[in-house]
Amino acid sequence: MARRKKRKEIFALGNEAVVEGALLAGCTFFGGYPITPSSEIMEIMAARLPKIEDGVFIQLEDEIASMGAVIGASLAGRKVLTATSGPGFSLKQENLGYAIMAETPLVLVNVMRGGPSTGLPTCPAQGDVQQARWGTHGDHPIIVLSASNVQECLDMTVTAFNMAEKYRTPVILLLDEVTAHTREKIEIPNSGEYEVFSRTVPSMPPEWYKPYEETVRGVPPMPPLGSGYRFHTTGLTHDRNGFPTQRPEEVEELVERLHRKIDQFFYDIQLVDTVMTEDADIVVIAYGSVARSAELAVQQARENGIKAGLLKLKTLFPYPRRQQEKVMATAKTLVVPEMNMGQISREVKRVNTGRASVRTINRIDGQIVTPSEILKVIMQG
């Protein structure tokens, strides 16, 4: 067997790792508008994309236009990325809903900053968790991922693209400022090393094709615009042909399928890492840079003879319910540290339903959650 080619190592920012991941996943289109702390993603894309054949970088007039442009490009067959931060994320919401309804794959990176409003431009925060889930109107599923270190920024970006293409849906990658602006050594996988998934295109003749037909996976094949499959794309509730409808049975069928295509693949979508949870009495549930503080706190707790563990959420939505239930088999206490007033602890409590005691650590002052803060709460039991 040939020896595996050594991976290239670079010293990179989290935002830079996102770009590496996107290019690895086959992204050839970036549309965006600058906003801190996400701007490096755009700047590096501006330098990198023109070096790829057919790679398109475009700076749009605003966040809304950026979102529209990436949807358009995705409809035309590209793998697309846009990046933003808090206020820009709010502006993108309407078109995000469109992408969900029209089943358009895209990856949206939101490097969170404190809010509300223009808030804390370059301070770490995790205030957009529930906005990512419920920011756009109506009943819809959504995939929200996060990363806690620079290597994960790369890996999770590849995962985000794969999920977007696999399930024909927008995928949101939530980073916090600490992760996005930390510089670490990372390994760039060689091409072919990671699985890269692309959307299924129709194989039937164009006249047989129905753009929103039921399939086994619930995900209809998607041809690029201009390839001979002419159909109507709309944000209105539509029938299997893509035409607007208000018939109750057709409306129900569509919305149910949108949910089902995500729901039946929870095992593929809900990603977590666990650290010493098998016998843990106390489990910390954390995500983003806070998970790194939590990991150190858990190790220190173990050194002090306390059976602590960490459930690190890499997928925030659909919320990894089963994985939490698994740690609750032994854990009597759950500790949820986060840089907001309690946006994931809501989910933790929802799944918990009074079985374990849930303790929260919340910072909203633009400062990170430190290991000692978490350790203090763990030691209190």
Partner 1 sequence: MNGFTGNEIIHQYLRHNKKFPHVLCPGCGHGIVLGTLIRSIHSLELPKDDVVIVAGIGCSGRLAVYVDFNTVHTTHGRALTFATGIKMANPKLKVIAIMGDGDALSIGGNHLIHAARRNIGITALILNNSIYGMTGGQSSPATPEGAMTMTNPFGQLDKAFDTVELARGAGANYVARGTVFHVKKLEKVLTDAIGRPGFSIVEAITPCHTQFGRKNKYKTPVDMYKWLKSSAMDVERYNELPEDKRAGRMPIGVFVQRDREGFEELYYQRQAKFLEKVAKGGK
Q: Which residues bind partner 1 (CB under 8 A)?
A: 29, 31, 50-51, 53, 55-56, 58, 60-62, 64-78, 80, 94-95, 98, 224-228, 230-236, 241, 243-244
Structure token pair of residue 23: 């290019």
* 64 or 120: CB nearest partner 1: 64
- Minimum distance from residue 89 beta carbon to partner 1 (Å): 16
Q: Could you count the other beta carbons within 10 Å of the beta carbon of residue 31?
A: 25
Cβ-in-10-Å burial (0-12, 13-18, 19+) of 203 comes to exposed
- Minimum distance from residue 255 beta carbon to partner 1 (Å): 18
* 34 or 72: CB nearest partner 1: 72
* 55 or 121: CB nearest partner 1: 55
* 80 or 111: CB nearest partner 1: 80
Q: What residue has token string 């889930």?
A: 133
- Minimum distance from residue 247 beta carbon to partner 1 (Å): 11
Cβ-in-10-Å burial (0-12, 13-18, 19+) of 217 comes to middle
* 70 or 369: CB nearest partner 1: 70
- Minimum distance from residue 78 beta carbon to partner 1 (Å): 5
- Minimum distance from residue 338 beta carbon to partner 1 (Å): 32
Report the distance separating Cα 147 and Cα 151, nearest Å.
9
* 74 or 151: CB nearest partner 1: 74
Which residues face 335 on adjacent strands?
Answer: 284, 359
Phi and psi (nearest 5°) for 48?
A: -85, -45
Which of 365, 373, 369, 368 shows the shortest CA–CA distance to 114?
365
Which of 267, 312, 316, 257 shows the shortest CA–CA distance to 285?
312
Structure token pair of residue 325: 């239930």
What are the CB-based long-range contacts (under 8 Å, 24+) for 220-227? 220/103, 220/168, 222/103, 222/105, 222/168, 223/77, 224/75, 224/76, 224/77, 225/75, 225/76, 225/77, 226/76, 227/77, 227/201
- Minimum distance from residue 45 beta carbon to partner 1 (Å): 14
The answer to whether the bond into 318 is cis (omega within 30° of 0) is: yes
- Minimum distance from residue 287 beta carbon to partner 1 (Å): 31
* 70 or 291: CB nearest partner 1: 70
